[in-house]
Structure 1
Amino acid sequence: MNSLTGALNQLLRQLDGPFPEAPGLRQFYVTVTPEGEPDGLAWLASQWLWPQFYWQQRDGVEELAALGAVRRFSSLAAARDFLTAEQGGALMRVCGLNTFDPGQGSLFVPRLLWRHRGDEITLTLTLYSEHSLQQDALVARRFLRRLVAPQPLVAMTGECLEERHLPDREGWHSMITRALDAIIAGDMEKVVLARASDLRFSCHLSPGSLLAASRAVNRGCYHFFMAFNEGSAFLGSSPERLWRRRGLALTTEALAGTVAGDDDDGRAAHLARWLLNDEKNQYENSLVVEDICQRLEGAASVTDIAEARIVRLRNVQHLRRDIEARLAQPDDALCLQRLQPTAAVAGLPREAARRFIEQVETFDREWYAGSAGWLSVDDSEFCVSLRSARVQEDRLRLYAGAGIVAGSVPDAEWQEIENKAAGLRSLLFSSGR
Structure 2
Amino acid sequence: MVFFRFPFSETLWTTEQNSASQNVSFHSFDQSERIDFDGDIKEISLADFQNLNFFNSNLSGELIDFQEENQTEYQQKLENIIDFIKENQLSKLVISRRKLVSFDHFSVDLKQTFLNLCKSYPNAFVYFFIKDEQCWIGAFSEVLGKFNKKTSEFETMSLAGTLRVEESWTSKELEEQKPVTLFIKNILKNFASEVEESETYDHISGNIKHLRTDFKAKIEKVELENLIAELHPTPAVCGIPKDLCQDAIGNFESHPRKLYAGYIQVETLENIEYFVNLRCAEFFKNAALIYVGGGITADSSPEKEWRETELKSQAILKNLEIKK
Decide: shared fold, TM above 0.5.
yes
Picking from 83, 89, 94, the partner of 1:181 is 83
Unaligned 5+ segments in structure 2 are 58-63
- Check whether the contact 2:23–2:41 (CA below 8 A) recurs between aligned residues: no
Deviation per residue, 1:376-430 (Å, 9 max, x gap): 5863012111000011223211011110012110011111111111011123387
- Check whether the contact 1:56–1:222 (CA below 8 A) recurs between aligned residues: yes
Picking from 198, 215, 218, the partner of 1:306 is 198
Q: Compute the displacement of 1:187 (Å).
A: 5.1
Identity fraction in percent = 21
Q: Compute the displacement of 1:372 (Å).
A: 1.7
Residue 196 of structure 1 corresponds to: 98
Task: Write the letter of the residue equivalent to 1:400.
Answer: V
1:208 aligns with 2:80: no
Residue correspondences, number? 312
- Check whether the contact 2:138–2:280 (CA below 8 A) recurs between aligned residues: yes
Picking from 331, 338, 342, the partner of 2:234 is 342
Question: 2: distance between equivalents of 1:344 and 1:197?
Answer: 20
Greater Cα radius of gyration, structure 1 or 2: 1
Question: 1: distance between equivalents of 2:158 and 2:65?
Answer: 33
Residue 2 of structure 2 corresponds to: 53
- Check whether the contact 2:11–2:43 (CA below 8 A) recurs between aligned residues: yes
1:242 aligns with 2:171: no
Picking from 150, 175, 180, the partner of 1:288 is 180
Question: 2: distance between equivalents of 1:96 and 1:204?
Answer: 28
- Check whether the contact 1:368–1:388 (CA below 8 A) recurs between aligned residues: yes
Task: Write the letter of the residue equivalent to 1:215.
Answer: C
Question: 2: distance between equivalents of 1:115 and 1:150?
Answer: 10
- Check whether the contact 2:263–2:276 (CA below 8 A) recurs between aligned residues: yes
Q: How does 1:11-30 map to 2 (within 5 A)?
A: none
Change (3 A) 1:150 1:174: closer
Question: 1: distance between equivalents of 2:52 and 2:196?
Answer: 42
1:255 aligns with 2:159: yes
Residue 37 of structure 1 corresponds to: none
- Check whether the contact 2:191–2:223 (CA below 8 A) recurs between aligned residues: no
Question: 1: distance between equivalents of 2:244 and 2:198?
Answer: 28
Residue 115 of structure 1 corresponds to: 43
Unaligned 5+ segments in structure 1 are 1-51, 72-91, 122-147, 262-267
Change (3 A) 1:304 1:153: same
Residue 24 of structure 2 corresponds to: 95
Task: Write the letter of the residue equivalent to 1:225.
Answer: F
TM-score when scaled to structure 2?
A: 0.86
Task: Write the letter of the residue equivalent to 2:292.
Answer: A
1:393 aligns with 2:285: yes
Change (3 A) 1:339 1:213: same
Q: Say which SS state the counterpart of residue 362 (structure 1) adopts.
A: coil
Q: Say which SS state the counterpart of residue 300 (structure 1) adopts.
A: coil
Q: Say which SS state the counterpart of residue 236 (structure 2) adopts.
A: coil
Question: 2: distance between equivalents of 1:165 and 1:421?
Answer: 17
- Check whether the contact 1:191–1:404 (CA below 8 A) recurs between aligned residues: yes
1:217 aligns with 2:109: no
1:105 aligns with 2:8: no
Change (3 A) 1:154 1:214: farther
- Check whether the contact 1:302–1:323 (CA below 8 A) recurs between aligned residues: no
Question: 1: distance between equivalents of 2:321 and 2:304?
Answer: 24
Residue 140 of structure 1 corresponds to: none
Q: How does 1:128-139 map to 2 (within 5 A)?
A: none
Deviation per residue, 1:356-378 (Å, 9 max, x gap): 11001111100001112312586
Task: Write the letter of the residue equivalent to 1:193.
Answer: I
Question: 1: distance between equivalents of 2:193 and 2:290?
Answer: 37
Q: Say which SS state the counterpart of residue 185 (structure 1) adopts.
A: helix
Residue 61 of structure 2 corresponds to: none
Question: 1: distance between equivalents of 2:54 and 2:164?
Answer: 27
Residue 70 of structure 2 corresponds to: 168
Residue 47 of structure 1 corresponds to: none
* Larger RCO of the pair (alpha carbons < 8 Å, separation 6+): 2
Q: How does 1:224-239 map to 2 (within 5 A)?
A: 224-229=127-132, 231-239=133-141
- Check whether the contact 1:56–1:63 (CA below 8 A) recurs between aligned residues: yes
